[in-house]
């Protein structure tokens, strides 16, 4: 019978991973160095002093760290250490300690530690808060892995693009989501995606497809290339792209500072500006290391402030005082509106309704533009978010634009440096854990996400999955 054969009375008891890891820290290297390189029959007999084992047979406790039903357990196996000592001596294992042996082996995720039973000590307990964080992070990693696998195996075309029928925007978002979730530049999905995205670069500095969405596509591409620009290989491309998008912005050349559209930018061309595109531009400029004092960002801040339902010196439009709830709306109309034409957009008194994804876009943009948390605009934005906290719907729009909402929700709260939110009823929320759980419940069997509401193309799995993965990247501990 092998000297390592356990007796039948193995004992199971809960244990802290942290405490077991601490006990065995650093011993793995010594174990590897001690393993036999030659025939053990030639081992010198003085490697393990025999007197340490010349005693009545005792017991060695072999602890196996196992996971069962979400909890970690130790299986204690009682062995005769006199026989083990004999075996260890013949195997040329040299020990520095007479009464304690720590052996760590990681095989398929199972950690094995052995210590003397009479000196095993007491395991530290993991706090409920840390255990909850650990479980939430474990779930996040699982759903991220499935999502990335979908994009790599099902979402990417042979050309390296994702859903290129709508231009390069989805490709940029997909590759960014992969990079932010730890994928290397050498990963085929990332490398091929970046190469395909470079193919959309135009002589005017823009990175776009048919030209209808010039600003949006160039901005998301800038964020993607900035994430991949570890060695400066995209410096020139980013420089030209920055000049291109700032050239699309309404500024002194075509609008005066008191014009409602001043500082804003739309999808491209001479169309009306909106908060979503302006928010993308601010994020792109910050990704290329432009600071809050950058003139383009400060011009954009003026437009963002005018998109907030806040009656203040920063918003002199006709709509600020009509709702005055601190939230944000998508665009600034330049003509008198008829509230009966859209209950979704307008209030009965002719105001503009605030809604979720614009609220978080506005918050993030203001922070990126350098506003502090005690600025009245930021305070009002956070109050609106508190009163409309949700991971189940896009407040004000329901399921429309839900995955874009998840992305802005996570990006906005992360930019604000908040780990906890208190809702209108006074309930505290770990927003990261809430979002991870909600996205896990919405993930499809193939690892993707999609929205049954087809508005804004979110029924496209590549787009919804990219937004979901970008949101999850903001949920890291």
**Per residue of the chain (477 residues), what is the pLDDT tens digit?**
443 344 333 333 333 333 333 333 343 443 344 444 444 334 433 333 333 334 444 444 444 444 444 444 444 444 433 344 444 334 433 333 333 333 333 333 333 333 333 334 444 555 666 676 689 999 999 999 999 999 999 999 999 999 999 999 999 999 999 999 999 999 999 999 999 999 999 999 999 999 899 999 999 999 999 999 999 999 999 999 999 999 999 998 889 999 999 999 999 877 899 999 999 999 999 999 999 999 999 999 999 999 999 999 999 998 888 999 999 999 998 776 777 777 778 888 889 999 999 999 999 999 999 999 999 999 999 999 999 999 999 999 999 999 999 999 999 999 999 999 999 999 999 999 999 999 999 999 999 999 999 999 999 999 999 999 999 999 999
What percentage of the chain's residues is helix, strand, coil (to nearest 5)?
A: 45, 10, 45
How many angstroms separate the CA atoms of 2 and 190, rounded? 51
Give the pair of three-digit tokens for residue 307: 């998109």
* pTM as predicted: 0.74
pLDDT value, residue 259? 94
Give the pair of three-digit tokens for residue 181: 């979730």
How many angstroms separate the CA atoms of 129 and 421, rounded? 16
* DSSP bridge partners of 12: 75
How many angstroms separate the CA atoms of 330 and 357, rounded? 9
Cβ atoms within 10 A of the Cβ of 312, count?
14
pLDDT value, residue 271? 87
Structural domains in the chain plus CATH codes: 11-119 (no CATH), 128-473 (1.50.10.20)
pLDDT value, residue 252? 86
Q: Among candidates 352, 356, 376, 357, which has minimal Cα distance to 366?
A: 376
The beta strands (E) that lie in 241-396 are given as none
Long-range Cβ contact pairs of 175-179 (< 8 A, separation 24 or more): 175/224, 175/227, 175/228, 176/220, 176/223, 176/224, 176/227, 176/466, 176/470, 177/147, 177/148, 177/151, 177/465, 177/466, 177/467, 177/469, 177/470, 177/473, 178/148, 178/151, 178/469, 179/224, 179/227, 179/228
**Positive or negative torsion for Cα 310, 312, 315, 321:** positive
Q: State how far the alpha carbon of 263 is from the alpha carbons of 216, 278, 413, in Å.
A: 16, 8, 24
Helix (H) or strand (E) holding 429: strand 428-429
């Amino acid at each position: 019978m092998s000297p390592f054969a356990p007796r039948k009375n193995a004992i199971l008891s809960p244990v802290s991973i942290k405490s077991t890891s601490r006990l065995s820290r650093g011993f793995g290297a010594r174990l590897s160095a001690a393993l036999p390189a030659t025939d053990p029959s030639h081992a010198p007999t003085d490697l393990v002093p025999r007197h340490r084992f010349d005693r009545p047979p005792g017991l060695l406790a072999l602890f196996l760290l196992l996971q069962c039903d979400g909890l970690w357990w130790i299986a204690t196996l009682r062995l005769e250490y006199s026989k083990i000592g004999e075996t260890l001596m013949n195997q040329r294992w040299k020990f520095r300690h007479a009464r304690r042996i720590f052996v760590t082996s990681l095989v398929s995720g199972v950690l094995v530690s052995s210590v003397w039973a009479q000196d095993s000590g007491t395991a530290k307990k993991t706090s409920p808060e840390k255990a909850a964080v650990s479980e939430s992070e474990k779930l996040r990693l699982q759903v991220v892995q499935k999502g990335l696998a979908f994009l790599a195996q099902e979402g990417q075309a042979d050309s390296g693009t994702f859903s290129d029928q709508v231009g390069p925007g989805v490709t940029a978002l997909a590759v960014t989501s992969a990079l932010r979730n730890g994928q290397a530049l050498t990963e085929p999905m990332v490398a091929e995606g970046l190469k395909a995205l470079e193919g959309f670069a135009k002589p005017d500095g823009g990175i776009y497809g048919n030209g209808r969405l010039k600003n949006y596509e160039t901005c998301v591409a800038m964020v993607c290339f900035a994430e991949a620009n570890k060695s400066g290989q995209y410096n020139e491309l980013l420089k030209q792209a920055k000049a291109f998008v700032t050239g699309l912005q309404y500024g002194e050349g075509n609008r005066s500072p008191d014009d409602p559209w001043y500082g804003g930018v739309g999808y491209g061309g001479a169309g009306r500006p909106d908060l979503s595109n302006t928010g993308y531009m601010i994020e792109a400029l910050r990704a290329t290391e432009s600071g809050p004092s950058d003139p383009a960002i400060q011009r954009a801040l003026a437009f963002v402030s005018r998109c907030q339902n806040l009656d203040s010196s920063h918003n002199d439009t006709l709509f600020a005082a009509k709702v005055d709830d601190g939230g944000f709306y998508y665009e600034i109309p330049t003509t008198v509106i008829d509230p009966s034409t859209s209950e979704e957009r307008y209030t009965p008194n002719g105001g503009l309704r605030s809604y979720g994804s614009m609220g978080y876009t506005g918050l993030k943009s203001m922070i990126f533009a350098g506003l502090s948390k005690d600025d009245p605009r930021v305070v009002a934005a956070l109050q609106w978010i508190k009163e409309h906290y949700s991971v189940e719907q896009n407040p004000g729009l329901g399921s429309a634009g839900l995955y874009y909402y998840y992305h802005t929700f996570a990006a906005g709260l992360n930019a604000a440096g908040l780990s906890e939110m208190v809702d209108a009823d006074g309930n505290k929320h770990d927003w990261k854990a809430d979002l991870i759980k909600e996205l896990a419940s919405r993930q499809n069997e193939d690892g993707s996400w999609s929205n049954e509401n087809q508005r804004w193309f979110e029924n496209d799995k590549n787009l919804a999955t990219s937004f979901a993965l970008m949101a999850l990247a903001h949920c890291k501990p």
